[in-house]
Structures are given as C-alpha cells and as structure tokens.
Structure 1
Amino acid sequence: MNNRTELAEFLRSRRARVLPVDVGLPAGHNRRTPGLRREEVARLAAISVDYYTRMEQARGPRPSRQVLGGLARALRLSDDERRHLFTLVGETPEPVGEPPQDVPAGVLHLLDRLDDTPAFVIDAKYDMLAWNDMAVALGTDYSALPPKLRNLARQRFLMRPERPFDAEQAEQFGREMVADLRQAAARYPHSAELGALVAELLASSEEFADLWAEHEVRVLRGGSKRMWHPEVGDLVLDCQRLMVPEADQCIVLYTAAPGTPSHEALRLLKVLGAQRFSSSRSAQRDHRSEPAPAPAAPGRSGGPAPGRSRPAR
C-alpha cells in the first residue's frame, strides 16, 4: 500500500480535531493532547488499539473497506474527507446511502458450485439477494415471492413461517436479528429502505418494538439450528455465516456432519429437489413447444395470450 505516511498523518490530524464530547465520551482529566485518544478511536471503530496504532505510525497493513468505514464514522469525517480516506488506500468509498445489492460474480459462482449445500446471500437489511437450488429445496422458492417479502426480517416478525425453527431458537434468532439491524442502521443512517423497514416492523410487531428498545448491538453469528422439513423430517444443521466485506453482504450456509441423519436428509433433499426442478423444466419445455395461439381478431382487446405468463421481474 502506498501513501502509508499520508494516511498516518491524516488519521492523526482528524483524531486531534474530534472532542470526546462530540462522540458521547466524558472529557476526563490529564489529557495531554487535544482530541481523542488512540484507544478511544479504536473502540469507536471496532478495531484493536494495536491495529490502529500501527496505522498512525505508518507501519500497518492495508485496511479493509469495513475498517475504513469504521474509522470514517469514529472520526466523524465529512463526505469529502471520507472519499479522501478511501483514496489514500486505493479504494473507492463504500456506499453511504443504501446497502449494496449487487452480489459479486465470484459469490454467485460459489453458490452454483454448492449443489449439495443450502446457501443464500443477504444484505445488511436482510433482503435475500441470491440463492441456490438447495436453499429453495430446504426453504421456499424466493423467486416466486414479491421482492418486499424476500426480506427475512419481515418473514420473521410479520409472517411467522409455518415451519419455524425450534421455538427457543426462533426467539434467539429474532433477538440477534434486531441487534444486527440496529448496527446496520448505524452504518447506513441515510438509508431510506432500511429506515422504512425498521419503521414498518416497529409499527406492526410488538416483539420487534420491545427488542429494538433494548438497544442491543451485535453481529449475528452462526450456530446449530433445529428445523423440520415436510419431506425429510427433523434436521439439525450447522449454520455458518461468511462475510463479504467489500459488498457488506453475508453468505449463509447450512451443513451437516457426514454420517449423521441430517446429512443423509440433505442428500435426499438434493435428489428430491433435482427431480422437482427437472419436472418443472420439462413442463416449461413442453409448454413452449405448443403452437402459438392465433392472433386476436380485429377489434378485440389485447393482452397476454391464454396459457402464457410474463417473465418475473
């Protein structure tokens, strides 16, 4: 990384400018320098003190986009200063309006390769952005849902799925999701979509409103999940979350240890799903091979021809 010295000088100058009261910290006593201490900046940016100290000493590694975003918030940088910070590291600034929804091509390729593992991608506000066939087989066909209902928070607090996780796990998942959404709201304070989602959930779900009022902030982690599937029965799956920092997105994977009943159930689900998808594609081919209907007679109203559907948008 070039510009290490320039980055170090910029960080020191911005740190000296921010007063403790500006970020809700007590002024304290015996402050030998103006502005924030290094440990205070590190805590506000959610990084280690050693990591931040090395950056200020022009000997640290190249910071990630996530670290840069945290520093920009901690140091209360203006939009121009934020762009300068990212430019010093050779990055373009991350979006400050809405959470990114363009899934990186490499992530989409990964989903295609995971043909025996349910996997999907969500953004910071829990919108389903991409999924593989196994995710459909385990859960639902998200492409058949309107975009608004592809949001996992709406499903959890407003729709209450017919086949939820174990009741205790469902409660814990809801609590962690609310804490994660609050952290996302801090990252995207100007997001109209995230703000509208939170407002809708506050107005429509007493459970969400109670959890939101607790002000917990936590990134949702993985863990063991118990669930029931109508075709393969009870499942105990390991849920893993892989972050995609450059897109602020998360890949969610469901796996089971080899040799366990749940692993065999996933293998069966793959076969059943492949049969279902094959039958669906065959029906679509047969449908397309039917002769096209005759044009409508003059004077009759137009519109989609009988037996045809418009492509999903």
Structure 2
Amino acid sequence: MDRRTRRELGDFLRSRRARITPADLGLPAGTRRRTPGLRREEVAQLAHISPEYYARLEQARAPHPSREVLTQLARALRLSDVERDHLHRLAGLPPGPPPGPCREVRQSIVDLLDRLPQAAAVVVSATNEVIAWNTLATALMEDFSALSRPERNLMRRTFLTPPQGGRRLYGVADTAEFARTSAHHLRTTAARYPDDPEVRALVDELLAGSPEFAALWAAHDVTDRPIPCKTFEHPLVGTLTVRCDVLDITDRDQRVLIYTAAPNSPSEEAMRLLSVIGTQRMDDALAPAP
C-alpha cells in the first residue's frame, strides 16, 4: 500500500469505530470518554490484535494487514458486506468470502416488526436462526426470548426435535415443504460461507442427527422457493392458516418472514385473539382456574 492508501484505510477504520457506541456491544460507557465511539484499545481487543498495531493502522504507519486481520476487524466493527469488501480493497487484497452469517439486525427492521401489530413477523439469519421477532410471533409460535440460540434455529427444530403430536416447528403442522426448502437454502449458505465454523457445525449436526436432512442434502438441490402459506395448530385458538411473505435484507443476508391471515377469515379472528394474549405463556393460559 502507498502512503495515500494507508491514510484512506486509517480514516475508514476511524470512521467505523466512531459510529459504534459501547452500549451497542454491552460495554460500560464510563465517564472519561471524549467521543461517543469505541476506543482503539476496545476495537483491538474485539479483533484480537494488539492495541499498538491497531493504532498504527489508523495512523497510516502499519505494514500491510493480512486477510485474517481484516476479517477480525470487519467483525469487530460490525461492517456490512459492502464495507468489508471496501476494507479489503483499501488494504490491496481482493475481497474474500464473507466471514460468517450476520446476526445483527438493523434497528429500523426491529422497529418495522413492532409496527406490524396484526402480523406475526420474525427475522432469520442465513442459517435460519430466529434473530428478531415481534409480540404476535411469540404468541403464534414461541417465546423466543426464553430459548437458547440453538433452540431458536428453525432447522434444528425441524430436523432434530422429536415430533409432538405430529408437530415440530413451533406448532407448524405442514413442515415437509419447509424441510425441503430450508435444506436447499442451507446448501447455498454453506457455499457462501465455506470457512465459517458455525455453518459447518450446523451441517454436520444435522447430517449426524437426521436421516431426512441427510437425504435432502445428498440431492444437492439449491432452489429456494418461497412457501406461500403455513398452517399452525395452536393450543389456544386451534388451526389457523396464514400467508407467508418474505422480504430479503440483501446486505446482511437476512430475511423477514411475515405471517398474515386473509381478511374476514376465521384465521384472522384467531390472530386477533392471539394479539390480545401477547407473550402470555401457553402453560399459564391453559392452566385450569383455581
């Protein structure tokens, strides 16, 4: 890199550091901060590099950073795919594959979910992990906040959870089509993130634990057809059929799944009742009156 390119790289890193607050990462803000962004030492710690080396990068005095260092910096600074590619180009390296599926949901998307009171909506990552949801989604499907990360993965729930009354996926009655499309989607994800350990571990876990998944995986299909409707068997409101619309968040490789009922249908009445129930736990709602 020449001197000018090093300055560009340093300025870019500094600008990305300034936009992240300690609260974004669960760090204490403290009382001695002169700027709202992260300190250099904090970025260095998150990226697993020395504070001195990171300071030299920002000051345009460091040697050529390796691809590994750039990957760690992209994760520490929560760069989008476009920003990650730009960082690599500034460092004189062609952009490599994305380091792993993004799990950070933009605040505007979280706000959008909350503004859909008559729709159940979730955000899923490239590995089909539920990473954001609204109140009606918890009433229709599950209280995701009470689940661990592995339990919030729709593929684990589909292929590795024993059926209960014929249902595995959070009350979804018709899981066969989702099983097929999710396996096809995961193969595409695995090709997009070939070096991500979580993606590899998920594939290995599903192959070892589910003959059904293994058979779908062996077909090498990569189609990803949307599922227009889903049928739920709910313990309080019974059977309801909802339309499923998918909005792609391309820059983060995420999808918003929005479930709505047809107007003036019994399912719409059921969804309206669920919106009143909210996040009330199902076992409490079904408990007999004292």
Question: Is 1:191 aligned to residue 196 of structure 2?
Answer: yes
- Picking from 131, 136, 143, the partner of 1:129 is 131
1:111 maps to 2:113: yes
SS of aligned partner of 2:142: coil
Q: Which runs of 5+ in 2 are unaligned?
A: 1-83, 285-290
Deviations 1:201-252 (A, max 9, x none): 0011111111100000012413111221111111011011110001110000
> Structure 1-normalised TM-score?
0.57
Could you tell me how far apart the structure 1 residues matched to 2:172 and 2:158 are? 13
Per the alignment, residue 252 of structure 1 pairs with 257
- Please give the secondary structure, in 2, of the residue aligned with 1:114: coil
Tell me which stretches of 4 or more aligned residues in structure 1 moved more than 4 Å. 84-88, 164-167
**Which of 200, 205, 208 is 1:200 aligned to?**
205
Secondary structure of 1:221 counterpart:
coil
Counterpart of 1:262 in structure 2: which amino acid?
S
Residue 103 (structure 2) aligned to one of 96, 101, 104:
101
Asked if structure 1 preserves the Cα contact closer than 8 Å seen for 2:261 and 2:268, the reply is yes
Match of 1:265 in 2: 270
Give yes or no for contact 1:112–1:132 (8 Å, CA) kept in 2: yes
Aligned 1:157-196 pairs, distance under 5 A: 157-160=159-162, 162=164, 163-164=167-168, 169-196=174-201
Task: Report the AA paired with residue 176 of structure 1.
Answer: T
Please tell me whether the aligned partners of residues 118 and 254 of structure 1 are also in contact (alpha carbons under 8 angstroms).
yes
Verify: 1:145 aligned to 2:133, yes or no.
Answer: no
Give SS of 2:278's match: helix
The aligned amino acid for 1:263 is E
Match of residue 224 from structure 2: 219
Residues 5-84 of structure 1 correspond to what in structure 2 (within 5 A)? 83=85
Which structure 1 segments of 5+ residues have no match?
1-81, 281-313
Q: Secondary structure of 2:117's partner?
A: coil
Aligned residues: 192
Distance 1:194 1:220, change over 3 A: farther
Post-superposition offset of 1:262: 0.5
Task: Decide whether aligned partners of structure 1 residues 102 and 240 sit closer, same or farther in structure 2, where only a CA change above 3 A counts.
Answer: same
CA distance in 2, matches of 1:241, 1:217: 18
TM-score (norm 2): 0.61
In 2 relative to 1, CA 85–216 (structure 1 residues): closer, same or farther, beyond 3 Å? farther
The aligned counterpart of 2:35 is none
Which one-letter code corresponds to 2:143 in the other structure?
D
> How large is the RMSD of aligned CA atoms in angstroms?
2.6
Residues 120 and 132 in structure 1, CA contact (< 8 A), matched pair in contact too:
yes
Structure with bigger gyration radius: 1
- Secondary structure, in 3 states, of the residue corresponding to 1:237? strand
Match of 1:254, SS state, is: strand
Of residues 228, 235, 247, the one that matches 2:233 is 228
Q: Is the 8 A contact 2:190 2:199 kept in 1?
A: yes
Closer, same or farther: CA 247–83 of 1 in aligned 2, 3 Å: closer
